[in-house]
Structure 1
Amino acid sequence: MIGKYIRERLSWILLLVFLQGLLLFIAAIDNSIPFKPVLYIVFLSTLCIVLFLIVRYPRETRFYKSLAAWDGSLDLSQISHPNGPLETLTMDMLSLQTELYKREASLHLVALEQEKDDLLSWIHEVKTPLTAMKLMIERLEDRELKSRLMYEWLRIHLLLDQQLHSKRMPFIQNDLFIEKVALEPVVTAEIKALQSWCIQRGIGFDLSLAEGEVLTDAKWLGFILRQLLTNAVKYSHDSDIVITSEMNGGHVTLRLQDSGRGIDPRDLPRIFEKGFTSTREHQDSAATGMGLYLTKKAADSLLISIVVDSIPGQGTAFTLTFPKNNEFAGISGM
């Protein structure tokens, strides 16, 4: 800030230096003017100028220092009170723009809320005919047709569920209820929901839950498992998905291991990015690139860390590490 302050006042400093040099030059060429007294006056005035700049520096830079430290939010209380007319003009323009942005943000938020409510209402309306459709499919006697229709029904159901949770995601903190959750009922419920698809693809499950309870939100944990199991079933065939839990370093870990096609090593760093599908199966138009993105967002809100291990052609393992009780104190009030 000192360098900027000097550059800002450089024209004034150069003017003062020029005037002092001019006095010395006139005293040097004019024999009627004593040079030493003029030199003494120049020295004293220069000293006064330097002291003046030192004293004025903190006062004249306080406002701009606070402006440089401002985080760019709509809270202008972080900026120091302006001292001069130019600082006041700057502050007035910032206040004007901030109020404009606040009004625009408020309008956008209202529109976003309305859009979310409309979409959620539509999704809930669609669920009614979907439920009726499922009941009709279950009454079919043709097993092959029944299996194919149930698979297509399940795809629609999962896509709607994914869309529903994507709209709820920005407000997930308002929806969390942290409690001790039994893992087995949550896991088995998600497996049962995928039962028809798993039978069609010849996929079984091997459960070994040594640790039966975790501290989390049951509904959002179910959503996370739903996305991971859907991926495991989608990219596996005629194999078992192994689900285990254990205590590791004071944390409960839940591991989902499939024997599917695996993930390309170059894709691993990007699988949780929004919209990313795959570089190896890039022509797969059915993939939305939203499942793992939403999974990571939900897991972060629940303080669950996710580690992925994958070997192409041999399978993929997702390991969920749940937080300890005291790590949830900040968001659960426990």
Structure 2
Amino acid sequence: MIKRFLKERLSWILLFVCLQLLLLFIAYLDPAISLSSAVYVVFLSALIFFIFLTVRYHKETFFYQHLDEWEADLDASEIPEAATPFEKIVEERLAAQIRKLTHLAGENRLALEQERDDLLSWIHEVKTPLTALHLMIERIEDENIKSRLTYEWLRIHLLLDQQLHQKRMLFIENDLHAEKIALEPMISHEIKLLRSWCMQKGIGFGVDLQVEEVLSDHKWLAFIMRQLLTNAVKYSGNSEILVKSYMKHGHTVVEVHDFGIGIDPKDLPRIFDKGFTSAVRPDQAATGMGLYLAKKAAEWLMIQLHVTSVPGEGSTFTLIFPKKNEFVNLTSM
């Protein structure tokens, strides 16, 4: 800030220096003026000017120092009240911009909430005929046609569910509820949802839960597990998917391990990026949103989500849950 102040007042400093040099030059040319007296006057003037600069530095930079440290959000309470006319101009224009942006942000949030509510309402309306369609498919006697229709129905169901949670993600901080969750019923429900797809691909499940309960949000944890299981089934075939839980260093760990095609090492750093789809994928219609949303939801739940993979041997997705007190503190904020 000192360098900025000196740069801002450089023209004044140069003017003062030039005036002092002019005084010395006149004293040098005019014998009637004592050169020693002129030097003494210049010394006193320089001393007074230095004190003046020091005082003005602290007075003039106080406002701008806080402005420079401001985080540029819509809360300007940390900025002190303006003390000079120029500072008041800055303060007034800043306040006007904050009022404008606050109003605009409020309008955008209301529009976003309305859009979310409209979409959620539409999704729920679509689920009604989708449920009826599933009941009709169950009555089909031809197992081949029934299996193919069930698979397509499942794809639509999962895409709608993904879209539903993507919109809810924008307001997830208001949607978290800490509760004890029994892992076995939740995982069984998600596996049952994928049953027809697994039967079509010859996939089985092995579940080994050394830890039977976790403290988290049921709705969002089920969504994360759904994305991991769906991803495992998508890239596997004629094999088994293992789901297990255990304790490690005071944290509950849940793993989903498949023996599918695995993930290319160059794709691992991007696996959770928005819209990323592997170049080697059986489903050309993949949106690349499932793992991205799972990662985002896991971050809100304070769950660490990691993946390891060996091409041709399968992948392991690991969920490391926070300690109980950590998640309770998050949901109570």
Corresponding position of 1:172: 172
CA deviations on 1:27-84 (whole Å, 9 max, x unpaired) are 1110111111121111111100001111121111011111110111011112122121
Shift of 1:188: 0.4
DSSP 3-state at the match of 1:78 = coil
**1:295-320 per-position Cα deviation (integer Å, ceiling 9, x unaligned):** 00111111111110101111000011
Indicate the residue corresponding to 2:107 in structure 1: 107
Letter in 1 for 2:138: E
* CA–CA separation in structure 1 for the residues paired with 2:37 and 2:279: 83
Aligned length: 333
- Greater shift in the superposed pair: 264-273 or 156-165: 264-273
SS of the counterpart of 1:76? Answer: coil
In the other structure, the counterpart of 2:203 is 203
User: Residue 303 of structure 1 corresponds to which residue in structure 2?
Assistant: 302
Measure the CA separation in 1 of the matches of 2:26 and 2:328: 77
SS of 2:256's partner is strand
- 1:120-135 equivalences in 2 (<5 Å): 120-135=120-135
- Deviation string, structure 1 residues 110-140 (Cα, Å, up to 9, x no partner): 1111111110000000000000000000011
Partner of 1:142 in structure 2? 142
Give the structure 1 partner of residue 315 of structure 2.
Answer: 316
Q: CA RMSD in A?
A: 1.3
Listed as ranges, the gaps of 5+ residues in structure 1 are none
Given that 2:184 and 2:212 are in contact with CA atoms closer than 8 Å, whether structure 1 keeps it comes out as yes
Distance 2:279 2:70 in 1: 41
Write the letter of the residue equivalent to 2:270: R
Write out aligned runs for 1:36-185 (5 A): 36-185=36-185
1:91 Cα deviation (Å)? 1.2
1:332: how far off? Answer: 2.9
SS in 2 for 1:22: helix
Q: Which residue of the partner structure matches residue 328 of structure 2?
A: 329
Which digits, 9 at most, give the CA deviation of each residue in 1:278-331, with x for residues without a partner? 2444x9531101000100011111111111010111100001111111212322
When residues 235 and 113 of structure 1 are mapped into structure 2, their CA distance, relative to the original with a 3 A threshold, is: same
Whole-Å Cα distance in 2 between the matches of residues 244 and 30 of structure 1?
Answer: 98
Structure 1 equivalent of residue 285 of structure 2: 286
**Counterpart-to-counterpart distance in 2, 1:62 and 1:80:** 8
Q: Name the CA distance, whole Å, in 2 between partners of 1:11 and 1:141.
A: 92
Amino acid at match of 2:227: Q
Map of 1:238 onto structure 2: 238
TM-score using structure 1 length: 0.97
| Matches of 1:113 and 1:56, distance apart in 2 | 50
Where does residue 259 of structure 1 map in the other structure? 259
Structure 2 Cα separation of the partners of residues 112 and 164 of structure 1: 14
Match of 2:186 in 1: 186
Once residues 65 and 183 of structure 2 are traced to their aligned partners in structure 1, the CA distance between those partners, rounded to angstroms, is 53
Distance 1:265 1:215 in 2: 33
C-alpha displacement at 1:90, in angstroms? 1.1
Length-normalised TM-score, structure 2 = 0.98
Structure 2 gaps, min length 5: none
Structure 2 letter corresponding to 1:289: G
Contact residue 178 and residue 328 of structure 2 kept, 8 A: no
Q: Which amino acid aligns with 1:222?
A: A
Between 31-40 and 193-202, the greater mean CA deviation after superposition: 31-40
Task: Tell me the CA shift for residue 333 of structure 1.
Answer: 3.6
Separation of aligned partners in 2, 1:20 and 1:280? 78
Runs of 4+ in 1 over 6 A off after TM superposition: none
* In structure 2, C-alpha distance between the alignment counterparts of 1:149 and 1:51, rounded to whole Å: 86
Give aligned-pair identity as a percent.
Answer: 59
**Residue identity in the other structure for 1:308:** V
Asked whether the 8 Å contact 2:309–2:315 carries over to 1, the reply is yes
For residue 165 of structure 2, give the secondary structure of its aligned residue in structure 1.
helix
Kept in 1: contact 2:5–2:61 (CA 8 A): yes
Task: State how far apart, in whole Å, the 2-side matches of 1:32 and 1:222 are.
Answer: 96
What SS does the corresponding residue of 1:306 show, helix, strand or coil?
A: strand
Could you tell me how far apart the structure 2 residues matched to 1:32 and 1:176 are?
88
Per-residue Cα deviation, 1:179-235 (whole angstroms, up to 9, x for no partner): 111110010000001101100000000111111111111111110010000011111
Counterpart CA distance in 2 for 1:93 and 1:56 is 24
Q: CA deviation at 1:275?
A: 0.9
